[in-house]
Amino acid sequence: MHNDNHPTQKRVPLTWNRVASKDELPEGRVMTVSITRGDNVKQVCLTHHKGQYAALDNACPHQGGPLGEGSIECDENGDCYLRCPWHGWDFDPITGKPPGGYDDGIPTYPVEVRDDGIYVGMEGTPGHKRTVTDVMAETMVSWGVTHVFGMVGHSNLGLADAIRRQVEGGSLGYIGIRHEGAAAFAASAFGKLTGRPAACLTIAGPGATNLLTGCWDAKVDRAPLLALTGQVDQQVFGPGAFQELPLKDAFASVSEFSHLCLPGSNHAELMSLAIKNAIVKQGVAHVIFPDDVQTQPANEDQRAGSPDGRMADIRVSPAQSSIDASLELLRTSKRPVIIVGHGARFEMDAVRALAEELRCPVLTTFKGKGLIGDCGAPINGGHPLGAGVLGRSGTPIASYFMNESDVILVFGASFSNHTGITPKKPIIQVDLDRMNLGKSHAVEVPVMGEIGMTARFLLDSLRGGHASVDQSAEIAERWQIWRNEKASRLADDRGLGVSSVAVFESMNRLVPENAIICVDVGNNTYSFGRYFEASGRQSVLMSGYLGSIGFGYPAGLGAWAATQAHALSADTFWKQFAGRPVFVVTGDGGFGQYPWEVTTAVKYQIDLTHVLLRNDELGKISKEQRAGRWNVWETALRNPNIAEFVTSCGGLGIRVNAAEELDGAISAAMKHRGPATIEILTDAALI
């Protein structure tokens, strides 16, 4: 049977597409079928009425309602109509014409019933028409964006399809997360690790607002991030359409750049400016995409944007007067110390060389943990001048050397109250951001300059011409005192679980020297700062200034993506991350924020070794309640068997009940290809 009811159907060659078996659609029913046409998918409403099959365009001409989700209804006169599920408009189920002679009928397509099923004919295979979002996705690739974390939804489908083309072309990586907040945390971690932005994709309304916590994490820790949010059609701006929110206002405080993509925008330039803002200002850039703009055809001559000629060399020399003032203090100092923060992470070769000339301790902020190896670290011996983390999450070693110093030289640190850099010592502070200099209190010498260049200037001027004594032996002695203390704590056992020191002593032995370690917020974080000894080649990522619980596991997704970027880009920059193992450290409270991202890791075969310290409590909050003389209240947690949960998701879950099981469990998790979680039953008091 051949049914051809298209009112304007031209006799041109047709492509016939099998859409259903003959027994798949009962009499009097309708269904939606999809037909792939080149790079596009066409949805058709297939009807079966009075023994005839018909194929109608699936979109109602009024509001675009999906007719394949409608029904055929008959009145008392026996007249039957296909009814739109959205607003009840009627159409003939075979011809697509409405009753009453209206001219808003539905296009139909030829149908053939063959022995092997129902076929629908379509004219040819249309080529893809390049859209404005194609231009913008191409621009992202041109600027070096390698990954998008997101959730595809109804108000970003045009943009998502443009991203799909780049993914299928091998130029972009896409990771579909389970919660938009995880997408922003993953992108933030990616930016912290690499200094380059990843993108996160969401729909309008709640999808966009779910990004905000992760975007704030990126903003306050100065990580580049590109947020791409859908929006309602332009024609319904203002009166409060479904999921319409003032997204530019919502992102105003968190973003360095937030703009609407409009029909008349220079689309390549808009995306170029967004990415440039993210990179140069090390923050969040946000682009809003109204649904109807996303699929507008691009101008034929519109090219993708490029960073060529748009980015200047960031090596800024400090003023000579600042260098001279710094040298005056450093030449006469006998016990200088260097403190490095997260801002120094890309310039540590120069900082280490300066420290080696001065033979002085190098302390780190918590966000800077791992930038220099801890002296005598079990993995590769660390660095003889590495004195550990300073502050509340640190070691007594770092505090000792700060207190014994006569000059403090600070590179790329923010002077957080959690770090506790004393204002009672002469301070030389080096930062490229002028606002950061003397932000918390006055310093003796504020130096505006790029960290690596400034460190080299100081080194060249100080060689052989300073009074600094060699403190390396004293550093080793202080580490031995602390290691003796840690060994004594290993014996602590109240019968309520494994101690944190035991967990991190095991990690000290087993975590590879080039690992990327993503750390969540909670008592596990403080214990990690105290007890884990960094190799100097490891990278530690955390939610620093924001201190957001739940950061850890999504950050692992972002870090892993950075290890894969070399396969998507010819830029040799990405090779430094290739093959590096990724570890995640969380408590049960932090993991509970985004537990379903385990399924994301399984889906994309993401290798994560997740060390989870479970104590069935928000232990850090209980500790703060006690310290503040409050009653401990509502900090207890109800958990499933987390190892079994991870295993049920398709990962590897291992439960550890005793300290002697730690090495075997961590080793097994490291060997597993895919996500693995070691659920360690820990004592909340032994931190």
- For the chain (687 residues), the mean pLDDT of every run of 10, in chain order, is 49 84 94 85 93 95 90 90 90 91 84 95 82 97 98 95 96 97 98 97 95 97 97 79 85 96 94 97 97 92 91 85 95 97 94 97 95 93 95 90 96 86 93 89 94 95 94 97 94 91 96 97 92 94 92 98 96 96 97 97 98 92 88 91 98 97 98 97 90
SS3 assignment, position 66: strand
Residue 12: what pLDDT? 61
SS3 assignment, position 278: helix
Enter the CATH code of domain 2-123: 2.102.10.10
Q: What is the DSSP letter of 342?
A: G
CA distances from 678 to 521, 557, 588, 644 (A): 18, 17, 11, 11
Structure tokens at 143: 């600027």
Q: Is the dihedral of CA 178, 182, 186, 191 positive or negative?
A: positive
- Decide if domain 492-681 falls under CATH 3.50.40.10: no
Q: Provide the residue ranges of all domains of the chain, joining segments of one domain with +.
A: 2-123, 132-290, 320-475, 492-681
Residue 1: what pLDDT? 46
Crossing angle of helices 180-194 and 552-564, in 10° steps, is: 50
Residue 8: what pLDDT? 47
Q: Are 413 and 368 in contact (CB under 8 A)?
A: yes
> What is the spatial distance between Cα 119 and Cα 17, in angstroms, rounded to a whole number?
5
Q: Are 372 and 362 in contact (CB under 8 A)?
A: yes
> What is the spatial distance between Cα 313 and Cα 471, in angstroms, rounded to a whole number?
36
Q: Are 358 and 463 in contact (CB under 8 A)?
A: no
Q: Is the dihedral of CA 478, 480, 484, 485 positive or negative?
A: positive
Q: What's the order of all strands across the beta sheet hosting 2-3?
A: 2-3, 111-114, 117-123, 14-20
Give how far the C-alpha of residue 478 lies from the chain's centroid of Cα atoms, to the nearest Å: 38
- Decide if domain 320-475 falls under CATH 3.40.50.1220: yes
* List of residues 6+ apart from 101 with CB closer than 8 A: none
Which is nearest to 553 in space by CA: 541, 567, 535?
541
* List of residues 6+ apart from 77 with CB closer than 8 A: none
Q: Are 363 and 513 in contact (CB under 8 A)?
A: no
Q: Are 608 and 599 in contact (CB under 8 A)?
A: no
Which is nearest to 198 in space by CA: 113, 284, 321, 111?
284
The bridge status of strand 117-123 relative to strand 14-20 is antiparallel
Residue 186: what pLDDT? 98
Which is nearest to 149 in space by CA: 553, 549, 577, 669?
553
Burial annotation 11-36 (CB, 10 A radius, 16+ → b, else e): eeebeebebbeeeebeeeebbebebe
Question: Burial of 234 by CB count in 10 Å (0-12 exposed, 13-18 middle, 19+ buried)?
Answer: middle
SS3 assignment, position 288: strand
Asked if the domains 132-290 and 492-681 are classified in one and the same CATH topology, the answer is yes
CA distances from 16 to 4, 39, 107, 121, 126 (A): 13, 17, 17, 4, 14
- E runs forming strands in 84-165: 90-91, 108-109, 111-114, 117-123, 147-150
CB atoms under 10 Å from CB of 98, counted, come to 18
> What is the spatial distance between Cα 230 and Cα 73, in angstroms, rounded to a whole number?
36
Which is nearest to 392 in space by CA: 529, 531, 505?
529
> What is the spatial distance between Cα 370 and Cα 594, in angstroms, rounded to a whole number?
26
- The CATH T-level fold of domain 132-290 is Rossmann fold (3.40.50)
Residue 178: what pLDDT? 96
Question: Burial of 6 by CB count in 10 Å (0-12 exposed, 13-18 middle, 19+ buried)?
Answer: middle
